Amino acid sequence: MDVIIQPNPEAAARMAARVMADLIRNKPDTVLGLATGSTPLGLYRELIRLHREEGLDFSRVTTFNLDEYVGLGPDHPASYHTFMFKHLFHALNIPREHIHIPDGLAKDIPAHCASYEDAIRDAGGIDMQVLGIGANGHIGFNEPMSSFTSHTTMTTLASRTRQDNAPFFEREEMMPHHAITMGIGTIMESRQCLMLAFGRRKARPVAQMIEGSVTPLVPASVLQQHPAVRVFLDKEAASELRGAGYDRRLYENKPEWQKT
């Protein structure tokens, strides 16, 4: 796990975007796993800038989003479909048929989850998965006590997650209780992970993820067992890491080819 601590979220997002852009330039048909939420917004702004100003081409890229709320259609203002088109897809040249987001209105949810996994496999697997971390240590919507080997499935949202995400809904009771999410097994099968976490609120789950035991109580801790994870943090999110100085030195002394 490479831990990369930057002075602020903007600098971290720029570095993460550079890593992603290098991958897309080397492999134009890259398969990306994408996240929603406040954390990747800076990364998405930077990808849009790279596309507009430096011609970064997404025409052969395929994307799979981590999750979607059950019961919300693509036009619902709080759906992750709406989020992704508003914050990223509207500005990139990814063909519509290359974009995959779980269907919150699927009638047969288990069948939909199975076909989502098939689509990931048919696309050749995820080359790079973008992740945020929940205040309770979740990745995707894999809440504490989720199975480490799970694949795309419907989960019941933890009350902490519902509280954190309720502000995006008109009224708290409109916040769904369930979501379709890639499983932890799906995430672990991706070839590389880019985890981003910013702000004091993330300091504790970040420290548990990087320095704690691998436990289903902190789903993100499983990433310690993934062979290629980069964690981009700002100073606040890194503030509870006992080994922050060590992490900094380790990363600074890497050769350039290992940094991208």
Question: At closest approach, how far in Å is the CB of 172 from ligand F6R?
Answer: 17
Question: At closest approach, how far in Å is the CB of 7 from ligand F6R?
Answer: 19
- Of 144 and 243, CB closest to ligand F6R: 144
Closest CA to 190 of 113, 125, 141, 122: 125
Question: At closest approach, how far in Å is the CB of 52 from ligand F6R?
Answer: 24
CB 54 within 8 A of CB 73: no
Q: Which of 6, 36, 63, 79 binds ligand F6R (CB under 6 A)?
A: 36
Report CA dihedral (168, 66, 154, 188) to the nearest 10 degrees: -140
Interaction of residue 9 with ligand F6R, rule CB under 6 A: no
Interaction of residue 39 with ligand F6R, rule CB under 6 A: yes
- Of 38 and 93, CB closest to ligand F6R: 38
C-alpha distances out from residue 236 to 2, 16, 17, 217, 224, Å: 17, 17, 20, 23, 21
Residue list 103-122, contact with ligand F6R (CB under 6 A): none
Residue list 48-77, contact with ligand F6R (CB under 6 A): 66-67
State the burial class of residue 145 (Cβ atoms within 10 Å of its Cβ: 0-12, 13-18, 19+): exposed
Neighbour-count burial for 63-99, b at 16+ CB within 10 Å, e otherwise: bbbbbbbbebeeebebbbbbbbbebbbebbebeeebb
Interaction of residue 37 with ligand F6R, rule CB under 6 A: yes
Residue list 131-150, contact with ligand F6R (CB under 6 A): 132-134, 138-141
Question: At closest approach, how far in Å is the CB of 209 from ligand F6R?
Answer: 12
Number of chain positions touching ligand F6R (CB under 6 A): 14
- Of 67 and 103, CB closest to ligand F6R: 67
State the burial class of residue 235 (Cβ atoms within 10 Å of its Cβ: 0-12, 13-18, 19+): middle
Provide the binding-site residues for ligand F6R, judged by CB under 6 A.
35-39, 66-67, 132-134, 138-141
